[in-house]
Structure 1
Amino acid sequence: MRMNLVLELLDVPGQLVSILEPISGLGANLVTVIHKRDAKNENGKIPVQLTLEGEKENLNRVIDRFDELNISIIEKDGYINKELISTILIGHIVDRDVRDTTDRINALDGVFVVGFDIKLDGEKKSTALINLEVDYGNKQIAFDEIEKICQEKDLLMINEV
Structure 2
Amino acid sequence: MRMDLVLELLDSPGQLVKALEPISAFGANLVTVIHKRDYKNDNGKVPVQLTLEGEHEDLKNVVNKFEELGFTIIEMDGIVKKEKITTIFFGHIVDQDLRDTMDRINALDGVVIVAFDIKLNGEEKSTALINIEADIGLKQTVFNRIAEIAEEKDLLVINEV
Question: Is TM more than 0.5 here?
Answer: yes
Please name the residue that 2:75 is paired with. Answer: 75
Unmatched runs of 5 consecutive residues or more in structure 2: 91-135
| Aligned partner letter, 1:19 | A
The count of corresponding residues between Structure 1 and Structure 2 is 109
Please name the residue that 1:34 is paired with. Answer: 34
Q: Which whole-Å deviations, capped at 9, do the CAs of 1:85-143 have from their partners, x for residues lacking one? A: 7x8989xxxxxxxxxxxxxxxxxxx998535769xxxxxxxx9439xxxxxxxxxxxxx
Unmatched runs of 5 consecutive residues or more in structure 1: 91-109, 119-126, 131-153
Structure number with larger C-alpha Rg: 1
Please name the residue that 2:140 is paired with. Answer: 114
Pair 1:14–1:112, CA change in 2 (3 A) = closer
Distance in 1 of aligned mates of 2:144 and 2:12: 42
Identical-pair percentage: 65
1:50 is paired with a residue whose SS is strand
Distance in 1 of aligned mates of 2:144 and 2:10: 36
Moved more, 74-83 or 9-18: 74-83
* TM-score, length basis structure 2: 0.56
Please name the residue that 2:63 is paired with. Answer: 63
Distance in 2 of aligned mates of 1:112 and 1:73: 16
| Aligned partner letter, 1:25 | A
Matches within 5 A, 1:1-161: 1-82=1-82, 113-115=139-141, 128-129=147-148, 156-157=156-157
Contact 1:40–1:47 (Cα < 8 Å) also in 2:
yes
Pair 1:112–1:36, CA change in 2 (3 A) = same
| Aligned partner letter, 2:74 | I
* TM-score, length basis structure 1: 0.56
Q: Which whole-Å deviations, capped at 9, do the CAs of 1:55-85 have from their partners, x for residues lacking one? A: 0000000000001100110000001113597
Pair 1:41–1:55, CA change in 2 (3 A) = same
